[in-house]
Amino acid sequence: MRFERREHPSRALTLLAPVGAILAALIVAGVLIAIAGANPFRAYALILNGAFGSRLGISETLTRTTPLILTGLAAAVAFRARLWNIGGEGQFYLGAIAVAALGMIPAIAAIPAPIAITLCCIAGAVAGMVLLLVPLGLRLRFGVDEVVTTLLLNFVALLFVSLMIEGAMKDPLAFGWPQSVPVPDNTLLATLIPRTRLHAGLLIALAMAVLVWFVQARSVFGMRARAAGLNPRAAAFAGVPLGRTLIGVACLSGGLAGLAGAIEVMGVKGYVTTDLSPNYGYSGIVIAMLANLNPLGVIFAALFTAVMFVGADSMSRALSIPSYIADVTVALSLLTMLVAIFLAQYRIRR
């Protein structure tokens, strides 16, 4: 058996690859569910039912989808330019804590809500950017591998948040729980469906996906970023300013991850804790890969991931299968997606 490169991978195949990957992941995870002593079909039915079966289920799924779209986009734009940003988690937290810090300024509570919300979004995005620009600077200046630095900065960021919410930003009214002072009411995002947690952040995330797609597919910056990622030497010869392009990519990527954190604070919790993110940043990497780095595909990949997480919770209550099966399925889908991408580009010959 051997592999031959397809010179013209068909569009249908490229679109089918993630579907096939998810199916394969579900089959393998189904075997694990069966080993755990439950009927996989029933388990998946329960997962779907948990995620979509009720108004609450749907709203919870979409609430989860929101930050995942943004962190997925953050990874996708960076990876397109071969900037390996593994630091989405840290950028998410830094974005969140920036909003909480801004909310502590008394003047913020006094300004109209749209302006306050815009300011908070900017603060969160800028915080995320800064955290990614540091490793990028190290790479451009000294050639330090950003995979290592961005990954390790996640822990630095989380510990910094921990320091803040146990100290300077600790909420005195929280009965000693480590959480930040809540942000003022005028920065909270509107609820989309009454009596659920679903908030307007979903619309922001969707708008961002379309915007990022447009920038990537149509703008000079998008074309340069792709060129810089695919062949830096040829890009430099064609006059692409490599450093500046990567800085732009880093601002976009870090900004999106920071925005995810900001929106999670303003839309869901209202304050920061160290369990604000159930690994949204890391899941973003899987989502970007599942979407084949396509910004519009990120929406669907994020939805799939959210369905697995929300559905698995209710499935585990009914079947007493650990809800870790969601993590396993999502992780498997990353592996199967890598295989699917390969198969979409190569054909197997005997």
Which of 130, 140, 152, 221 lies at the binding interface for other proteins (CB under 8 A)? 221
- C-beta separation of 253 from 267 below 8 A: no
8 binds other proteins (CB under 8 A): yes
Return the structure tokens found at 66.
């929101």
Question: Could you tell me the smallest distance in angstroms from the CB atom of residue 239 to other proteins?
Answer: 3
In the window 32-91, what residues touch other proteins (CB under 8 A)?
none
Q: How far apart are CA 267 and CA 67, in angstroms?
A: 10
Minimum CB distance to other proteins smaller for 195 or for 233: 233
Sketch the per residue contact string, 226 through 265, with other proteins: x for CB under 8 A, - otherwise.
xx--xx-xxxxxxxxx------------------------
- Tracing tokens 């609450």 back to the chain, one arrives at 56
Residue count of the chain, please give it: 350
Phi, psi of 4 (to 5 degrees): -125, 135
Q: How far apart are CA 76 and CA 17, in angstroms?
A: 17
Which of 224, 258, 314, 330 lies at the binding interface for other proteins (CB under 8 A)? 224
For residue 174, the SS3 value is: coil
Minimum CB distance to other proteins smaller for 69 or for 240: 240
The site that binds other proteins (CB under 8 A) totals a number of residues, namely: 25
Which of 7, 114, 141, 143 lies at the binding interface for other proteins (CB under 8 A)? 7
Question: Could you tell me the smallest distance in angstroms from the CB atom of residue 349 to other proteins?
Answer: 5
Q: How far apart are CA 99 and CA 261, in angstroms?
A: 9
Q: Which of these, 83, 60, 233, lies nearest to 144 by C-alpha position?
A: 83
219 binds other proteins (CB under 8 A): yes
Q: Which of these, 227, 41, 38, lies nearest to 49 by C-alpha position?
A: 41
Minimum CB distance to other proteins smaller for 5 or for 195: 5
Sketch the per residue contact string, 291 through 330, with other proteins: x for CB under 8 A, - otherwise.
----------------------------------------
Minimum CB distance to other proteins smaller for 142 or for 237: 237
Minimum CB distance to other proteins smaller for 35 or for 220: 220
11 binds other proteins (CB under 8 A): no
Per CB under 8 A, the segment of 30-38, 177-185, 223-231, 314-322 that binds other proteins is 223-231
Minimum CB distance to other proteins smaller for 142 or for 175: 142
Contacts of 343 (CB under 8 A, 6+ apart): 17
Q: How far apart are CA 152 and CA 90, in angstroms?
A: 9
Question: Could you tell me the smallest distance in angstroms from the CB atom of residue 339 to other proteins?
Answer: 20
Q: Convert 27-96 into a string of H (helix), E (strand) and C (coil).
A: HHHHHHHHHCCCCHHHHHHHHHHHHHCCHHHHHHHHHHHHHHHHHHHHHHHHHHCCCCCCCHHHHHHHHH
For residue 328, the SS3 value is: helix
Question: Could you tell me the smallest distance in angstroms from the CB atom of residue 210 to other proteins?
Answer: 15
End-to-end CA separation in angstroms for the chain: 4
Cα Rg of the chain (Å, integer)? 21
DSSP 265: I
Question: Could you tell me the smallest distance in angstroms from the CB atom of residue 342 to other proteins?
Answer: 15
**Binding-site ranges for other proteins (CB under 8 A):** 2, 4, 7-8, 218-221, 223-224, 226-227, 230-231, 233-241, 349-350
